[in-house]
Structure 1
Amino acid sequence: MARTILYAAISILLVAAIIRQPDEAFQASLQGLTIWWNIVFPGLLPFLVLFELIAAFGLIHGIGVLLRPLMRTLFKLPGEAALPLLLGWMSGHQAGAEATAALRRDGLVSKREGQRLLALSHMPNPLFMLVVIGAGFLHRPELGLFIAAVVWLSALCTAGWNLLFNSRKDLSQNASLAATTASGGLFDRIADAINKSRERDGRSFGKALGDAVSSGVQKLLVVGGFMIFAAVAARLALPLIQFVLPSGAAELLLPALLESHIGAYAAAVWQGPGVSAAVSAAAVAAILAWSGISALLQAGYAITGTDLKLLPLIGVRLLHAVHAGALALLLWKPAQDILTLLPDRLTGVTAAMLQNGTEWQRPSNAYEAVTALGLPTLWPYTLTAAAVLAILFIIMRLAAPRTPDWKKH
């Protein structure tokens, strides 16, 4: 009852704030839309479509058989968990959450395994870190590589702690059964797993592709709604937060709490006493590791219908953020020594990364900065990513030997 009243009160306050500040709400909504269209949509769609195709053609089970020993040794997870892990690290939060939820619905991971996999696959888009943050936000492409490395290393450290405190063996029923009943050589077992899964699905390639594209676009529309809502809420709540916190701190903490893309920019342009480049990079890494309430709500939407919980994920995100910030400060000086050895031409690509190619000027705050003209876009990389993924899909499909018809009976 109390929670319902609280949600209703917050909704009424937001409506009142939008009515009172329609221009601010519109600008924030446009900024959220810009980030979604330029970064999230082209960065996520190929991976979401790929996962649906991999699942439809049984390759997820073949990958599970192939990578089962590695995943069990490193993460105490079934081999099928390798695909959500790769998709999350290669594409971003939503792809990892969607793939993890799909495995849990199919019973390929247990609840405890799914919870760990959800936390481990909840990662920021690597192209966003390498291209947008490095070249676009910080205007130092080599720092994008440093921040990405810090986020990835801290994720592995966090996964180690999570595994240490959840060390009880908890194999999923299907994975244990497959491990005990599988026979024959490795390629025979891979082919058998692929063929059995393909027969259960039964859709043609055209049908599977159409369903994959339709499902991916629908999911990304929901993601866009979350991002726009978070951007509007952050902008409208800023005057209230400034009564409690100094202006600079409020403009950093509020976007960082709600939306990681705007929060990362706020940290990149953060100015104040004692704010060095190392502190700014550490803040960006911590914000990306936290991912924001918007990304957490997207993960909660993805796991709807499963028994996976959002609260443990929030705890792991906080731990990851602490690890990322601390590791960035710890590795800053050695990383700078290494980065000085990189060719100077890497620092000359900044203008090419920007849509308008103009000289960069530091804005007064993060909300003024996130515009369609000044924000780098991932669209040029989408066709390349789609082509590479299509080639990998074809190679994986052809590499798996077919089981002769007489063996099926």
Structure 2
Amino acid sequence: MAKTVMLAILSILLVCCIILQPDVSFQASLKGLSIWWDIVFPGLLPYFVLYEIMLAFGLAHGLGALLQPVASRLLRMPGEAVIGLAAGWMGGYPAGAEQVARLCREGRLNNSQGQHLLALSHMPNPLFMIVIVGASFLQTPTAGLIVAAGVWLSALWLLLLSSIWPQFPHGNPHNQQPAPARPHPRHGLLAAAAFAMKAGRESDGRSFGRVLGESVTASVQRLMIVGGFMIVASVLARLAEPLLLPLSNMGFPFVGQVLFEGHLGAYAASLWNLPGAGLPLICAAIAAAVSWTGISGILQAGYSIGGTGLKLFPFMMYRLNHAVHAFLVTLLLWGPAGKLFSMLAPDGGFPVLAEGTTRLSSHGPLSEAQAFTAVNMPTLWPYSAAIFVGGAVLLCSLYFLFKWRPVGRTEI
């Protein structure tokens, strides 16, 4: 009862604030709409559609069976748990929360496992970090690569801690009963993956045309929900600026945007002009912003997991923990990455690292009028081969690392 009354009072106060400041609220709404329509919508839609198609044709089920040793040893979960991680890491939030909620509703994960996987799978969109942050916000593609590396490495570090230290926040307790296991043929991982793909496809049974149409419809519907959260968060951040004025006077004007929305916070942090704040500190602030994901991202996850029994408060604490680690890892990564890129391009092909303490590249930051356009964005093509090779090496290493190591007598 008290919670309902408090929410009602807050809603009335927000409506009053919007009525008293209609011009400010309207401009904030337009800004949130611009970021969603020009960045988030085209960035997430292909991921959502392709993942729905993968689910329908059994590819996601096959990947879960193929990576079952990784899930069993690191996560102590069924192989399908890897699909939640893959959806969150490749599709961005709230794709990971969607898959975690599905696994919990199907009874493949218990509450402890679902809470653990929810925290690990809620990740920012890689396309946003690499392309938008690097090539658009900072006008230097390699900056986006370092932001993404800081976010991913800090997430892997927390994943490792939770796997070897059960008392770590969101670590999977050993005394929890495992989720129900699904039998598969004893002819190796590849045969198990093929069997899982066939079973997943037969359980779906839709034609390709129907799958494609329904995948687009479902993906657009989810993105409309995301857009609504972003617009509301943009208005809230603008109305909360007077409350955060002390932090703004201290040289942190982007705290409000970071608090309410990760994409808005990344853009505001990219324009940080604090004296002495070089590009390494700016990239670290962006990594923390997208790792925290903002109240908007947390509410999106809460919308996805509704009715599953999963809690938002421990999930929020994990997001804060990840944001702190992402900030520190990005700063620590800057020096070694700079030396590596200098070796790969001694002629200065990576100006963001060659200059070291320069705030931005020679192109300078985008102005408000130029924001969210791709006209002058530098190309990422010279770095695509390195990204592809690095990702392939990482996947192969994980596969062979856990393929030959026993994971116990329990068959998942």
Q: TM tier, shorter chain? A: 0.7 to 0.9
Does the 8 A contact of 1:158 with 1:316 survive in 2? no
Aligned to 1:266: 268
What is the match of residue 115 of structure 1?
A: 115
Distance (Å, rounded) in 2 between the aligned partners of 1:376 and 1:86: 32
Change in Cα spacing, 1:362 to 1:51, as seen in structure 2 (3 Å) is closer
Identify the residue that residue 303 of structure 1 maps to in structure 2.
305
Aligned to 2:6: 6
Structure 1 Cα separation of the partners of residues 271 and 308 of structure 2: 40
Distance in 1 (CA, whole Å) between partners of 2:198 and 2:365 is: 56
User: Which amino acid counterpart does residue 173 of structure 2 have in structure 1?
Assistant: R
Please state how far the C-alpha of 1:308 moved relative to its aligned partner: 2.0
Secondary structure, counterpart of 1:168 in structure 2: coil
CA distance change for structure 1 residues 204 and 323 in 2, over 3 Å: closer, same or farther?
A: same
Distance 1:331 1:199, change over 3 A: closer
How has the CA–CA distance of structure 1 residues 173 and 336 changed in structure 2, closer, same or farther, with 3 Å as cutoff? closer
Specify which of 239, 244, 258 is matched with residue 242 of structure 2.
Answer: 239
- How is 1:95-134 mapped onto 2 (pairs within 5 angstroms)? 95-134=95-134
Q: d(CA) in 1 for partners of 2:204 and 2:376?
A: 40
Q: Show the counterpart of 1:282.
A: 284
Task: Name the counterpart of 2:162.
Answer: 162
Alignment of 1:68-147 (within 5 A): 68-147=68-147
Q: Answer yes or no: is the 8 Å Cα contact 1:136–1:375 preserved in 2.
A: no
Aligned-pair CA distance for 1:233:
0.7
* Displacement of 1:372: 4.4
Give the root-mean-square deviation of aligned CA atoms: 2.9
Alignment match, 1:324: 326
Q: Is the 8 A contact 2:116 2:172 kept in 1?
A: no
CA contact 2:34–2:372 (8 Å) conserved in 1: yes
**Pair 376,291 (structure 1): closer, same or farther in 2 beyond 3 Å:** farther
**Amino acid of the structure 2 residue aligned with 1:57:** F
Structure 1 residues 187 and 130: CA distance shift in structure 2, 3 A: closer
Query: What is the CA-CA distance between 1:52 and the residue it aligns to?
Result: 2.0
Between structures 1 and 2, the one with greater helix share = 1
Q: Aligned pair in 2 of structure 1 residues 376, 125: CA closer, same or farther (>3 Å)?
A: farther
Q: In 2, distance between residues paired with 1:90 and 1:167?
A: 23
Q: TM-score, normalised by structure 2?
A: 0.80
Cα distance in 1 for residues equivalent to 2:294 and 2:370 = 17
Per-residue deviation, 1:302: 1.1
Name 2:33's counterpart in structure 1. 33
Cα distance between partner residues in 2 of 1:52 and 1:374: 28
Inter-partner Cα distance in structure 2 for 1:203 and 1:149: 38
Whether 1:337 aligns to 2:339 is yes
1:11 counterpart letter in structure 2: S
Structure 1 length-normalised TM:
0.80
Gaps of 5+ in 2: 353-361, 382-412
1:219 Cα shift? 0.7
Q: Aligned residue for 1:45?
A: 45
Residue correspondence of structure 1 range 183-222 to structure 2 within 5 A: 183-222=186-225
Give, in angstroms, the shift of residue 299 of structure 1: 0.8
C-alpha distance in 1 between matches for 2:370 and 2:273: 17
Distance 1:185 1:340, change over 3 A: closer
Q: How many Å separate the matches in 2 of 1:314 and 1:240?
A: 22
Cα deviation, 1:291-346, whole Å, max 9, x if unaligned, reads: 11111111111111212222221111111111111222223333333333343445
Distance 1:138 1:225 in 2: 26
Cα distance, 1:168 vs. partner? 3.0
| Distance of aligned partners of 1:360 and 1:326 in 2 relative to their CA distance in 1, 3 Å threshold | closer
| Residue pair 1:132, 1:376 contacting (<8 A) in 2 also | no
Structure 2 partner of 1:24: 24
Please tell me whether the aligned partners of residues 57 and 200 of structure 2 are also in contact (alpha carbons under 8 angstroms).
yes
Aligned counterpart, 2:409: none
Distance of 2:60 and 2:140 partners within structure 1 = 38
Cα distance in 2 for partners of 1:238, 1:375 equals 31
The AA in structure 2 aligned to 1:225 is G
Which whole-Å CA distance do the structure 2 matches of 1:374 and 1:269 have between them?
A: 17
The residue type paired with residue 131 of structure 2 is V
Q: What is the aligned-residue identity percentage?
A: 48
Counterpart residue type for residue 89 of structure 1: W
8 Å CA contact 1:138–1:268 kept in 2: the answer is: yes
Unaligned stretches of 5+ residues in structure 1: 349-357, 382-409
Are 2:151 and 2:326, in contact at CA under 8 Å, matched by a contact in 1? Answer: yes
Structure 2 counterpart of 1:224: 227
* C-alpha deviation, 1:252, in angstroms: 1.6
Distance 1:305 1:100 in 2: 12
